[in-house]
Amino acid sequence: MELDQEIKEQENIEENQNIDSVMEPEILEDDSDGVTDDEAQDDSVTSETTDDIESEGTSDIGDDESESVKAIALLQEEIANLHQQLELQKEQTKSVQGQFMRLTADFDNFRRRTAKEKEEQETTIKKKTITELLPVVDNFERARTQIKPANDGEMGIHKSYQGVYKTFVESLKKLGVSAMRPEGELFDPNYQEAMLREPTNEYPEGTVIEQLVRGYLLNDQVLRYAMVKVAAPKDDDENEATATPENGENAEN
């Protein structure tokens, strides 16, 4: 009985060992130093992914550099076009400025010429009008020198027209008219006309002795030439004739 029990126990032990050996997973040996197939596959995928990323990164960098070069080229071309347009605008501006300066100069010349012509026209009209009035002034001056009032009535009339004469002369002065007074000065053909030459030793030759008709100026222009008498040297015969009576008187004394 005991022997049979021991044999059964031995058989149970062997049966259990067989079951354990069947249930244990087979471990395959690999030449990859303990790396499993899954791990190797993961490493392969990772390596491929890294290579793809590096390849894509390199491609992206190349594309970016190409785009940058194109953008720089376009900017440089645009800058060159802008410089060209700027130079063209400068030339156009310079041309317009030149035209403006010429127009301004022409307008200034036209304005000065017009103002000068207007002034000359006004002066011509003024000279003509005043010249027509000068004989009136001459008559007033003759009346003042020739008429001698004999009584109070005549004196009143004399003062009355002399007042008119004074007012008239003041009006002429306001217009720029001035009377010439060449007496005692050397004859100047630019302002005077020599009507008479009087031999005399009292004045140097060519000196204006008397103003026969008064001359007038309108500002700096001659309105009417003065008609004058000019001193001339005496002849030797006249000097001897003048000296003879004196010599005779001295001889008698």
**17-58: pLDDT as tens digits:** 655 554 444 444 444 454 455 555 555 545 555 555 555 555
- The winner for highest mean pLDDT among 95-99, 138-142, 208-212 is 208-212
pLDDT at 37: 54
Q: Which of 175, 165, 170, 162 is nearest to 131 (CA)?
A: 175
Tell me if the pTM is above 0.85: no
- Which distant-in-sequence residues (6+ apart) come within 8 Å of 184 by Cβ? 203, 207, 208
Query: Considering the chain, what is the average pLDDT of its residues?
Result: 78
Do residues 201 and 182 lie in contact, with contact meaning Cβ atoms separated by under 8 Å? Answer: no
Angle of the 37-146 helix axis to the 152-174 helix axis, nearest 10: 160
Average pLDDT over residues 182-193: 94
**Rg (the chain; Cα; Å):** 68
Q: How is the chain split into domains, by residue range?
A: 130-236
User: Please, what CATH class does the domain formed by 130-236 belong to?
Assistant: mainly beta
**102-125: pLDDT as tens digits:** 999 999 999 999 999 998 898 889
Q: For tokens 């020198």, name the residue.
A: 145
